[in-house]
Structure 1
Protein backbone atom coordinates (compact mmCIF):
# COMPACT_ATOMS: atom_id res chain seq x y z
CA UNK A 1 0.00 0.00 0.00
CA UNK A 2 2.90 2.38 0.71
CA UNK A 3 4.44 1.72 -2.71
CA UNK A 4 1.05 2.33 -4.35
CA UNK A 5 0.74 5.64 -2.48
CA UNK A 6 4.17 6.72 -3.71
CA UNK A 7 3.33 5.77 -7.30
CA UNK A 8 0.11 7.75 -7.14
CA UNK A 9 1.71 10.90 -5.71
CA UNK A 10 5.17 10.93 -7.30
CA UNK A 11 4.09 13.62 -9.77
CA UNK A 12 3.42 15.90 -6.80
CA UNK A 13 6.31 15.13 -4.42
CA UNK A 14 9.83 13.77 -5.04
CA UNK A 15 10.12 9.98 -4.84
CA UNK A 16 13.10 10.24 -2.47
CA UNK A 17 11.09 12.38 -0.05
CA UNK A 18 8.07 10.05 -0.21
CA UNK A 19 10.24 6.96 0.38
CA UNK A 20 11.90 8.60 3.35
CA UNK A 21 8.57 9.76 4.82
CA UNK A 22 7.06 6.28 4.49
CA UNK A 23 10.22 4.49 5.62
CA UNK A 24 10.77 2.40 2.48
CA UNK A 25 13.80 2.12 0.22
CA UNK A 26 13.96 3.72 -3.20
CA UNK A 27 15.32 0.49 -4.68
CA UNK A 28 12.40 -1.43 -3.21
CA UNK A 29 9.94 1.04 -4.71
CA UNK A 30 11.52 0.83 -8.18
CA UNK A 31 11.55 -2.98 -8.01
CA UNK A 32 7.85 -2.93 -7.13
CA UNK A 33 7.16 -0.44 -9.92
CA UNK A 34 8.89 -2.53 -12.60
CA UNK A 35 7.50 -5.93 -11.75
CA UNK A 36 4.77 -7.49 -13.93
CA UNK A 37 1.19 -6.80 -12.88
CA UNK A 38 -0.44 -9.57 -10.90
CA UNK A 39 -3.26 -11.70 -12.25
CA UNK A 40 -5.62 -9.85 -9.90
CA UNK A 41 -4.50 -6.48 -11.28
CA UNK A 42 -5.02 -7.66 -14.84
CA UNK A 43 -8.50 -8.93 -13.94
CA UNK A 44 -9.27 -5.59 -12.30
CA UNK A 45 -8.38 -3.92 -15.60
CA UNK A 46 -10.77 -6.22 -17.48
CA UNK A 47 -13.49 -5.52 -14.93
CA UNK A 48 -12.90 -1.80 -15.19
CA UNK A 49 -13.50 -1.88 -18.95
CA UNK A 50 -16.96 -3.41 -18.40
CA UNK A 51 -17.66 -1.19 -15.40
CA UNK A 52 -16.89 1.91 -17.45
CA UNK A 53 -19.03 0.66 -20.35
CA UNK A 54 -22.01 -0.04 -18.08
CA UNK A 55 -21.68 3.25 -16.22
CA UNK A 56 -21.47 5.35 -19.38
CA UNK A 57 -24.24 3.46 -21.20
CA UNK A 58 -26.54 4.34 -18.29
CA UNK A 59 -25.61 8.01 -18.81
CA UNK A 60 -23.61 7.87 -15.55
CA UNK A 61 -26.66 7.05 -13.42
CA UNK A 62 -26.04 3.42 -12.46
CA UNK A 63 -24.87 2.72 -8.93
CA UNK A 64 -22.71 -0.19 -7.79
CA UNK A 65 -25.36 -2.89 -7.77
CA UNK A 66 -26.71 -2.29 -11.28
CA UNK A 67 -23.20 -2.03 -12.70
CA UNK A 68 -22.36 -5.30 -10.94
CA UNK A 69 -25.27 -7.07 -12.63
CA UNK A 70 -24.16 -5.70 -16.01
CA UNK A 71 -20.65 -7.05 -15.40
CA UNK A 72 -22.01 -10.47 -14.39
CA UNK A 73 -24.15 -10.50 -17.54
CA UNK A 74 -20.95 -10.15 -19.58
CA UNK A 75 -19.63 -13.37 -18.04
CA UNK A 76 -17.12 -11.81 -15.63
CA UNK A 77 -17.24 -13.22 -12.11
CA UNK A 78 -16.61 -10.89 -9.17
CA UNK A 79 -18.08 -9.71 -5.90
CA UNK A 80 -20.15 -6.60 -5.33
CA UNK A 81 -17.52 -5.08 -3.03
CA UNK A 82 -14.87 -5.39 -5.74
CA UNK A 83 -17.06 -3.41 -8.12
CA UNK A 84 -17.65 -0.86 -5.38
CA UNK A 85 -13.90 -0.47 -4.81
CA UNK A 86 -13.07 -0.10 -8.49
CA UNK A 87 -15.82 2.46 -9.04
CA UNK A 88 -14.71 4.44 -6.00
CA UNK A 89 -11.04 4.38 -7.00
CA UNK A 90 -11.87 5.58 -10.50
CA UNK A 91 -14.34 8.27 -9.52
CA UNK A 92 -17.38 6.56 -11.04
CA UNK A 93 -20.15 7.88 -8.86
CA UNK A 94 -23.84 7.83 -9.76
CA UNK A 95 -25.57 11.17 -9.79
CA UNK A 96 -27.82 11.81 -6.76
CA UNK A 97 -31.59 11.94 -7.06
CA UNK A 98 -33.28 15.30 -7.15
CA UNK A 99 -36.61 16.33 -5.76
CA UNK A 100 -39.43 16.12 -8.29
CA UNK A 101 -41.73 18.89 -9.43
CA UNK A 102 -45.09 19.63 -7.75
CA UNK A 103 -48.19 17.73 -8.83
CA UNK A 104 -51.06 19.14 -10.80
CA UNK A 105 -53.75 20.62 -8.56
CA UNK A 106 -56.43 21.12 -11.20
CA UNK A 107 -60.17 20.78 -10.59
CA UNK A 108 -61.62 17.29 -10.86
CA UNK A 109 -65.07 15.82 -11.44
CA UNK A 110 -65.96 14.38 -8.05
CA UNK A 111 -68.52 12.01 -9.57
CA UNK A 112 -65.74 10.30 -11.56
CA UNK A 113 -63.38 9.72 -8.62
CA UNK A 114 -62.89 5.98 -8.04
CA UNK A 115 -61.86 4.06 -4.94
CA UNK A 116 -58.27 2.94 -4.39
CA UNK A 117 -58.80 -0.64 -5.61
CA UNK A 118 -55.09 -1.19 -6.27
CA UNK A 119 -54.37 -0.48 -2.59
CA UNK A 120 -50.59 -0.40 -3.13
CA UNK A 121 -50.46 -3.96 -4.46
CA UNK A 122 -47.75 -3.14 -6.98
CA UNK A 123 -47.20 -6.70 -8.22
CA UNK A 124 -48.90 -8.56 -11.06
CA UNK A 125 -48.64 -12.22 -12.02
CA UNK A 126 -49.06 -11.60 -15.77
CA UNK A 127 -48.95 -8.74 -18.28
CA UNK A 128 -51.96 -6.45 -18.71
CA UNK A 129 -53.47 -7.11 -15.29
CA UNK A 130 -52.49 -3.82 -13.63
CA UNK A 131 -51.43 -0.58 -15.27
CA UNK A 132 -50.46 2.57 -13.40
CA UNK A 133 -50.45 6.04 -14.94
CA UNK A 134 -49.48 9.62 -14.21
CA UNK A 135 -47.87 12.64 -15.86
CA UNK A 136 -45.03 14.99 -15.02
CA UNK A 137 -43.50 18.28 -16.18
CA UNK A 138 -40.21 19.02 -17.94
CA UNK A 139 -38.93 22.57 -18.34
CA UNK A 140 -37.70 23.86 -21.70
CA UNK A 141 -36.79 27.33 -22.97
CA UNK A 142 -40.16 27.34 -24.75
CA UNK A 143 -42.07 26.49 -21.56
CA UNK A 144 -43.30 23.31 -19.92
CA UNK A 145 -43.55 19.96 -21.69
CA UNK A 146 -46.00 17.55 -20.07
CA UNK A 147 -45.19 13.83 -20.22
CA UNK A 148 -47.86 11.21 -19.49
CA UNK A 149 -46.99 7.53 -19.17
CA UNK A 150 -48.62 4.16 -18.52
CA UNK A 151 -46.59 1.40 -16.84
CA UNK A 152 -47.44 -2.31 -16.67
CA UNK A 153 -46.79 -3.48 -13.10
CA UNK A 154 -45.91 -7.00 -14.26
CA UNK A 155 -42.64 -5.90 -15.87
CA UNK A 156 -42.44 -2.16 -15.10
CA UNK A 157 -42.49 -1.62 -18.86
CA UNK A 158 -43.72 1.73 -20.17
CA UNK A 159 -46.48 0.56 -22.50
CA UNK A 160 -47.89 3.97 -23.39
CA UNK A 161 -46.78 7.59 -23.32
CA UNK A 162 -47.77 11.02 -24.62
CA UNK A 163 -46.10 14.45 -24.65
CA UNK A 164 -47.82 17.80 -25.12
CA UNK A 165 -47.43 21.50 -24.34
CA UNK A 166 -50.68 21.54 -22.34
CA UNK A 167 -51.87 19.32 -19.49
CA UNK A 168 -55.24 18.41 -20.93
CA UNK A 169 -57.37 15.29 -20.85
CA UNK A 170 -56.04 14.52 -24.34
CA UNK A 171 -52.53 14.15 -22.87
CA UNK A 172 -53.43 11.19 -20.65
CA UNK A 173 -55.98 9.82 -23.12
CA UNK A 174 -53.33 9.52 -25.83
CA UNK A 175 -51.00 7.66 -23.44
CA UNK A 176 -53.73 5.11 -22.69
CA UNK A 177 -54.62 4.79 -26.39
CA UNK A 178 -50.98 3.95 -27.15
CA UNK A 179 -50.93 1.34 -24.38
CA UNK A 180 -54.10 -0.32 -25.71
CA UNK A 181 -52.74 -0.23 -29.27
CA UNK A 182 -49.48 -1.83 -28.19
CA UNK A 183 -50.86 -4.47 -25.85
CA UNK A 184 -54.18 -5.24 -27.49
CA UNK A 185 -57.66 -4.85 -26.03
CA UNK A 186 -57.25 -5.61 -22.33
CA UNK A 187 -59.14 -8.30 -20.46
CA UNK A 188 -59.89 -7.70 -16.76
CA UNK A 189 -57.45 -4.79 -16.59
CA UNK A 190 -57.12 -2.48 -13.57
CA UNK A 191 -55.93 1.06 -14.37
CA UNK A 192 -54.66 3.18 -11.47
CA UNK A 193 -53.98 6.92 -11.45
CA UNK A 194 -54.34 9.94 -9.21
CA UNK A 195 -57.54 12.01 -8.95
CA UNK A 196 -56.35 14.71 -11.36
CA UNK A 197 -58.88 16.44 -13.57
CA UNK A 198 -57.37 14.77 -16.64
CA UNK A 199 -58.13 11.27 -15.30
CA UNK A 200 -61.61 12.14 -14.03
CA UNK A 201 -62.55 13.85 -17.31
CA UNK A 202 -65.47 12.55 -19.34
CA UNK A 203 -63.16 11.93 -22.31
CA UNK A 204 -60.79 9.68 -20.37
CA UNK A 205 -63.50 7.88 -18.42
CA UNK A 206 -65.39 7.12 -21.63
CA UNK A 207 -62.28 5.51 -23.14
CA UNK A 208 -61.91 3.37 -20.01
CA UNK A 209 -65.56 2.29 -20.12
CA UNK A 210 -65.45 1.51 -23.84
CA UNK A 211 -62.63 -0.98 -23.23
CA UNK A 212 -64.01 -2.47 -20.02
CA UNK A 213 -61.12 -1.17 -17.91
CA UNK A 214 -61.65 -0.99 -14.15
CA UNK A 215 -60.67 2.38 -12.69
CA UNK A 216 -58.68 2.78 -9.47
CA UNK A 217 -57.46 6.07 -8.03
CA UNK A 218 -55.11 7.15 -5.27
CA UNK A 219 -56.51 8.77 -2.20
CA UNK A 220 -56.40 12.55 -2.35
CA UNK A 221 -52.91 13.90 -1.63
CA UNK A 222 -51.36 10.47 -1.07
CA UNK A 223 -48.49 10.03 -3.55
CA UNK A 224 -47.49 6.67 -2.06
CA UNK A 225 -50.69 5.12 -3.44
CA UNK A 226 -49.02 5.38 -6.85
CA UNK A 227 -45.42 4.80 -5.75
CA UNK A 228 -44.53 2.61 -8.74
CA UNK A 229 -45.37 5.45 -11.12
CA UNK A 230 -43.52 7.95 -8.96
CA UNK A 231 -40.50 5.66 -9.17
CA UNK A 232 -40.51 5.74 -12.97
CA UNK A 233 -40.68 9.52 -13.16
CA UNK A 234 -37.98 9.81 -10.51
CA UNK A 235 -35.74 7.63 -12.68
CA UNK A 236 -36.56 9.65 -15.79
CA UNK A 237 -35.61 12.91 -14.11
CA UNK A 238 -32.58 11.68 -12.20
CA UNK A 239 -31.11 9.69 -15.04
CA UNK A 240 -31.93 12.04 -17.90
CA UNK A 241 -33.97 15.23 -17.85
CA UNK A 242 -32.83 16.91 -14.61
CA UNK A 243 -29.29 17.14 -15.96
CA UNK A 244 -30.28 18.63 -19.32
CA UNK A 245 -31.17 22.10 -20.56
CA UNK A 246 -33.65 21.86 -23.42
CA UNK A 247 -33.93 24.77 -25.85
CA UNK A 248 -37.14 23.47 -27.40
CA UNK A 249 -39.99 21.13 -26.55
CA UNK A 250 -39.04 19.03 -29.57
CA UNK A 251 -35.57 18.48 -28.12
CA UNK A 252 -37.10 17.37 -24.82
CA UNK A 253 -39.56 15.08 -26.63
CA UNK A 254 -36.73 13.41 -28.53
CA UNK A 255 -34.72 12.87 -25.36
CA UNK A 256 -37.64 11.43 -23.39
CA UNK A 257 -38.44 9.12 -26.30
CA UNK A 258 -34.81 7.98 -26.35
CA UNK A 259 -34.84 7.34 -22.60
CA UNK A 260 -38.05 5.28 -22.66
CA UNK A 261 -37.67 3.32 -25.88
CA UNK A 262 -33.90 2.91 -26.17
CA UNK A 263 -32.82 2.70 -22.53
CA UNK A 264 -35.54 2.22 -19.90
CA UNK A 265 -37.63 -0.50 -21.54
CA UNK A 266 -34.89 -2.58 -23.23
CA UNK A 267 -31.86 -1.98 -21.00
CA UNK A 268 -32.49 -0.47 -17.57
CA UNK A 269 -32.09 -3.03 -14.80
CA UNK A 270 -34.70 -3.12 -12.03
CA UNK A 271 -34.10 -4.50 -8.56
CA UNK A 272 -37.76 -5.59 -8.41
CA UNK A 273 -37.22 -7.71 -11.55
CA UNK A 274 -34.09 -9.47 -10.34
CA UNK A 275 -31.97 -6.86 -12.13
CA UNK A 276 -33.45 -7.60 -15.54
CA UNK A 277 -34.81 -4.93 -17.88
CA UNK A 278 -38.58 -4.82 -18.53
CA UNK A 279 -38.15 -6.27 -22.02
CA UNK A 280 -35.85 -9.05 -20.78
CA UNK A 281 -38.27 -9.88 -17.97
CA UNK A 282 -41.21 -10.22 -20.36
CA UNK A 283 -39.21 -12.30 -22.84
CA UNK A 284 -38.17 -14.74 -20.10
CA UNK A 285 -41.75 -14.90 -18.78
CA UNK A 286 -43.02 -15.83 -22.26
CA UNK A 287 -40.60 -18.78 -22.38
CA UNK A 288 -41.63 -20.10 -18.96
Structure 2
Protein backbone atom coordinates (compact mmCIF):
# COMPACT_ATOMS: atom_id res chain seq x y z
CA UNK A 1 0.00 0.00 0.00
CA UNK A 2 2.85 2.39 0.82
CA UNK A 3 4.51 1.77 -2.55
CA UNK A 4 1.24 2.45 -4.33
CA UNK A 5 0.68 5.68 -2.37
CA UNK A 6 -2.41 4.35 -0.63
CA UNK A 7 -3.01 5.32 2.99
CA UNK A 8 -5.33 3.48 5.31
CA UNK A 9 -7.96 5.55 7.07
CA UNK A 10 -8.37 5.01 10.79
CA UNK A 11 -11.97 4.26 11.70
CA UNK A 12 -13.22 5.22 15.13
CA UNK A 13 -14.32 2.13 17.07
CA UNK A 14 -18.06 1.64 17.41
CA UNK A 15 -19.30 2.46 20.89
CA UNK A 16 -22.50 0.68 21.88
CA UNK A 17 -24.90 2.97 23.72
CA UNK A 18 -27.97 0.73 23.85
CA UNK A 19 -28.50 -2.61 25.52
CA UNK A 20 -29.11 -5.76 23.46
CA UNK A 21 -28.90 -8.78 25.73
CA UNK A 22 -31.06 -11.06 27.82
CA UNK A 23 -31.34 -8.20 30.29
CA UNK A 24 -33.18 -6.13 27.68
CA UNK A 25 -36.13 -8.54 27.89
CA UNK A 26 -36.78 -7.22 31.40
CA UNK A 27 -37.16 -3.64 30.18
CA UNK A 28 -40.90 -3.05 29.83
CA UNK A 29 -42.69 -0.25 27.99
CA UNK A 30 -45.12 0.79 30.70
CA UNK A 31 -45.96 4.13 29.06
CA UNK A 32 -46.92 2.50 25.75
CA UNK A 33 -47.19 5.84 23.91
CA UNK A 34 -49.77 7.25 26.33
CA UNK A 35 -48.45 10.80 26.04
CA UNK A 36 -51.27 12.68 27.79
CA UNK A 37 -51.17 12.24 31.58
CA UNK A 38 -53.83 14.05 33.57
CA UNK A 39 -51.57 15.94 35.97
CA UNK A 40 -47.96 17.10 36.44
CA UNK A 41 -45.37 14.66 37.78
CA UNK A 42 -47.27 11.62 36.56
CA UNK A 43 -44.74 10.86 33.81
CA UNK A 44 -41.24 12.12 33.19
CA UNK A 45 -39.34 11.26 30.04
CA UNK A 46 -35.68 11.70 29.25
CA UNK A 47 -33.23 11.43 26.40
CA UNK A 48 -29.73 12.47 25.33
CA UNK A 49 -28.92 14.40 22.15
CA UNK A 50 -25.61 15.29 20.49
CA UNK A 51 -24.66 18.90 19.74
CA UNK A 52 -21.70 19.71 17.50
CA UNK A 53 -19.15 22.38 18.40
CA UNK A 54 -15.81 23.34 16.87
CA UNK A 55 -14.12 21.61 19.81
CA UNK A 56 -16.10 18.39 19.47
CA UNK A 57 -19.50 17.05 20.43
CA UNK A 58 -21.26 17.91 23.67
CA UNK A 59 -24.22 15.98 25.01
CA UNK A 60 -27.51 17.34 26.31
CA UNK A 61 -29.55 15.26 28.74
CA UNK A 62 -33.08 16.55 29.32
CA UNK A 63 -35.95 15.51 31.60
CA UNK A 64 -39.45 16.52 30.50
CA UNK A 65 -42.72 16.48 32.42
CA UNK A 66 -45.03 14.84 29.92
CA UNK A 67 -48.14 16.64 31.23
CA UNK A 68 -46.96 20.11 30.24
CA UNK A 69 -43.98 19.23 28.00
CA UNK A 70 -41.90 21.38 30.37
CA UNK A 71 -38.17 20.72 30.59
CA UNK A 72 -37.76 20.43 34.34
CA UNK A 73 -34.02 19.74 34.27
CA UNK A 74 -31.16 19.55 31.79
CA UNK A 75 -27.44 18.88 31.92
CA UNK A 76 -24.85 19.57 29.23
CA UNK A 77 -21.76 17.37 29.36
CA UNK A 78 -18.64 16.57 27.40
CA UNK A 79 -18.95 12.80 27.84
CA UNK A 80 -21.71 10.20 27.72
CA UNK A 81 -21.10 8.89 31.22
CA UNK A 82 -24.12 7.78 33.23
CA UNK A 83 -23.20 10.24 35.98
CA UNK A 84 -24.54 13.10 33.85
CA UNK A 85 -27.93 11.41 33.48
CA UNK A 86 -27.98 10.85 37.22
CA UNK A 87 -27.15 14.53 37.76
CA UNK A 88 -30.10 15.49 35.55
CA UNK A 89 -32.44 13.17 37.46
CA UNK A 90 -31.28 14.57 40.81
CA UNK A 91 -31.88 18.12 39.56
CA UNK A 92 -35.41 17.16 38.49
CA UNK A 93 -36.10 15.63 41.91
CA UNK A 94 -34.96 18.82 43.63
CA UNK A 95 -37.10 21.03 41.39
CA UNK A 96 -40.31 19.01 41.81
CA UNK A 97 -42.07 17.90 44.98
CA UNK A 98 -43.00 14.33 44.14
CA UNK A 99 -45.76 12.93 46.32
CA UNK A 100 -46.54 9.73 44.43
CA UNK A 101 -44.43 7.28 42.40
CA UNK A 102 -44.18 8.49 38.84
CA UNK A 103 -43.35 6.78 35.58
CA UNK A 104 -39.88 7.56 34.25
CA UNK A 105 -39.69 6.76 30.54
CA UNK A 106 -36.48 6.61 28.49
CA UNK A 107 -34.73 4.60 25.83
CA UNK A 108 -32.48 1.59 26.40
CA UNK A 109 -29.24 3.56 26.39
CA UNK A 110 -26.56 2.17 28.67
CA UNK A 111 -26.81 5.28 30.87
CA UNK A 112 -30.49 4.54 31.59
CA UNK A 113 -29.96 0.92 32.58
CA UNK A 114 -26.89 1.62 34.70
CA UNK A 115 -26.81 0.82 38.39
CA UNK A 116 -26.33 4.51 39.18
CA UNK A 117 -29.49 5.44 37.28
CA UNK A 118 -31.48 2.67 38.94
CA UNK A 119 -30.39 3.98 42.33
CA UNK A 120 -31.26 7.60 41.44
CA UNK A 121 -34.75 6.60 40.29
CA UNK A 122 -35.51 4.17 43.11
CA UNK A 123 -39.22 4.26 43.87
CA UNK A 124 -40.10 5.37 40.35
CA UNK A 125 -41.76 3.11 37.79
CA UNK A 126 -39.30 2.44 34.98
CA UNK A 127 -40.56 2.41 31.41
CA UNK A 128 -38.35 1.79 28.36
CA UNK A 129 -38.88 2.34 24.65
CA UNK A 130 -38.76 -0.67 22.40
CA UNK A 131 -35.37 -1.29 20.83
CA UNK A 132 -34.60 1.11 17.93
CA UNK A 133 -38.09 2.64 18.12
CA UNK A 134 -37.77 6.38 18.93
CA UNK A 135 -41.52 6.96 18.51
CA UNK A 136 -41.98 5.47 21.99
CA UNK A 137 -40.19 8.55 23.32
CA UNK A 138 -41.56 10.94 20.72
CA UNK A 139 -42.16 13.98 22.94
CA UNK A 140 -38.61 14.40 24.22
CA UNK A 141 -37.25 13.49 20.77
CA UNK A 142 -39.46 16.23 19.32
CA UNK A 143 -38.18 18.74 21.87
CA UNK A 144 -34.56 18.07 20.98
CA UNK A 145 -35.43 18.42 17.28
CA UNK A 146 -37.14 21.76 18.00
CA UNK A 147 -34.17 22.99 20.00
CA UNK A 148 -31.88 22.36 17.05
CA UNK A 149 -34.21 23.54 14.30
CA UNK A 150 -35.44 26.71 16.01
CA UNK A 151 -32.22 27.78 17.71
CA UNK A 152 -29.02 25.71 17.75
CA UNK A 153 -28.72 25.32 13.98
CA UNK A 154 -28.63 29.10 13.55
CA UNK A 155 -25.20 29.31 15.14
CA UNK A 156 -21.64 28.19 14.65
CA UNK A 157 -21.00 26.89 18.13
CA UNK A 158 -17.44 27.34 19.33
CA UNK A 159 -17.23 25.25 22.48
CA UNK A 160 -19.00 23.84 25.53
CA UNK A 161 -19.53 27.25 27.16
CA UNK A 162 -21.10 28.66 23.99
CA UNK A 163 -23.40 25.65 23.66
CA UNK A 164 -24.42 25.91 27.32
CA UNK A 165 -25.31 29.59 26.92
CA UNK A 166 -27.46 28.91 23.85
CA UNK A 167 -29.28 26.00 25.47
CA UNK A 168 -29.96 28.03 28.62
CA UNK A 169 -31.40 30.85 26.52
CA UNK A 170 -33.70 28.53 24.58
CA UNK A 171 -35.02 26.44 27.46
CA UNK A 172 -35.16 28.91 30.32
CA UNK A 173 -36.12 32.12 28.52
CA UNK A 174 -38.18 30.80 25.60
CA UNK A 175 -39.31 27.17 25.51
CA UNK A 176 -40.64 26.82 29.06
CA UNK A 177 -41.85 30.38 29.44
CA UNK A 178 -42.95 31.74 26.06
CA UNK A 179 -43.24 29.10 23.35
CA UNK A 180 -46.84 27.95 22.95
CA UNK A 181 -47.82 24.33 22.36
CA UNK A 182 -50.98 22.99 20.79
CA UNK A 183 -50.87 20.20 23.39
CA UNK A 184 -51.08 22.88 26.11
CA UNK A 185 -54.04 24.67 24.54
CA UNK A 186 -51.64 27.17 22.97
CA UNK A 187 -50.11 28.09 26.31
CA UNK A 188 -46.47 27.79 27.29
CA UNK A 189 -45.50 24.85 29.53
CA UNK A 190 -45.22 27.15 32.54
CA UNK A 191 -48.61 28.71 31.85
CA UNK A 192 -50.19 25.28 31.38
CA UNK A 193 -48.95 24.10 34.76
CA UNK A 194 -50.06 27.35 36.40
CA UNK A 195 -53.51 26.86 34.90
CA UNK A 196 -53.64 23.33 36.34
CA UNK A 197 -52.80 24.61 39.84
CA UNK A 198 -55.35 27.41 39.50
CA UNK A 199 -58.05 24.90 38.55
CA UNK A 200 -57.16 22.74 41.55
CA UNK A 201 -57.47 25.74 43.88
CA UNK A 202 -60.78 26.84 42.36
CA UNK A 203 -62.22 23.35 42.68
CA UNK A 204 -61.09 23.17 46.30
CA UNK A 205 -62.86 26.46 47.04
CA UNK A 206 -66.06 25.20 45.40
CA UNK A 207 -65.98 22.00 47.44
CA UNK A 208 -65.32 23.93 50.65
CA UNK A 209 -68.21 26.27 50.00
Tell me which interval the TM-score lies in, with the shorter structure as reference length: 0.7 to 0.9
Query: Is 1:122–2:3 an aligned residue pair?
Result: no
Instruction: Please list, as runs of the form range in 1=range in 2, the aligned pairs for 1:92-111 lying within 5 A after superposition.
Output: 105-108=16-19, 110=21, 111=23
Question: Contact 2:41–2:102 (CA<8 Å) still a contact in 1?
Answer: yes
Query: Is 1:233–2:144 an aligned residue pair?
Result: yes
Which residue, 86, 90, 101 being the options, matches 1:177? 90
Corresponding residue for 2:180?
A: 269
Residue 114 of structure 1 deviates from its aligned partner by 1.8
More helix by share: 1
Cα distance in 1 for partners of 2:99, 2:86 equals 16
RMSD: 1.5
The structure with the larger Rg is 1
Residue 253 of structure 1 deviates from its aligned partner by 0.6
Structure 1 outlier segments of 4+, above 2 Å = 107-113
Cα distance in 2 for partners of 1:108, 1:230 equals 19
Question: Contact 1:109–1:197 (CA<8 Å) still a contact in 2?
Answer: no
SS in 1 for 2:168: helix
Residue 109 of structure 1 deviates from its aligned partner by 7.7
Query: Is 1:195–2:94 an aligned residue pair?
Result: no
* Structure 1 residues 61-120: Cα deviation after superposition (integer angstroms, max 9, x where no partner): xxxxxxxxxxxxxxxxxxxxxxxxxxxxxxxxxxxxxxxxxxx84253853752000000
Query: Which moved further from structure 2: 255-264 or 185-194?
Result: 185-194
Structure 1: unaligned runs, 5 residues or longer: 1-103
Cα distance in 2 for partners of 1:182, 1:109 equals 33
Cα distance in 1 for partners of 2:165, 2:100 equals 32
* Structure 1 residues 3-48: Cα deviation after superposition (integer angstroms, max 9, x where no partner): xxxxxxxxxxxxxxxxxxxxxxxxxxxxxxxxxxxxxxxxxxxxxx
Residue 185 of structure 1 deviates from its aligned partner by 3.6
* Structure 1 residues 210-261: Cα deviation after superposition (integer angstroms, max 9, x where no partner): xx10100000000100111111111101111112111111010111011111
TM-score, with length taken from structure 1? 0.61
Corresponding residue for 1:91?
A: none
CA change 1:236–1:251 in 2 (3 A) is same
Corresponding residue for 2:76?
A: 163
Corresponding residue for 2:166?
A: 255
CA change 1:137–1:186 in 2 (3 A) is farther
Corresponding residue for 1:134?
A: 47
Count of residues in correspondence between the two structures: 183
Cα distance in 2 for partners of 1:214, 1:125 equals 17
* Structure 1 residues 180-227: Cα deviation after superposition (integer angstroms, max 9, x where no partner): 000024512000000000001111011111xx1010000000010011
TM-score, with length taken from structure 2? 0.84
SS in 1 for 2:73: strand
* Structure 1 residues 131-151: Cα deviation after superposition (integer angstroms, max 9, x where no partner): 110010110111111000000
Higher relative contact order (CA closer than 8 Å, sequence separation 6+) = 2
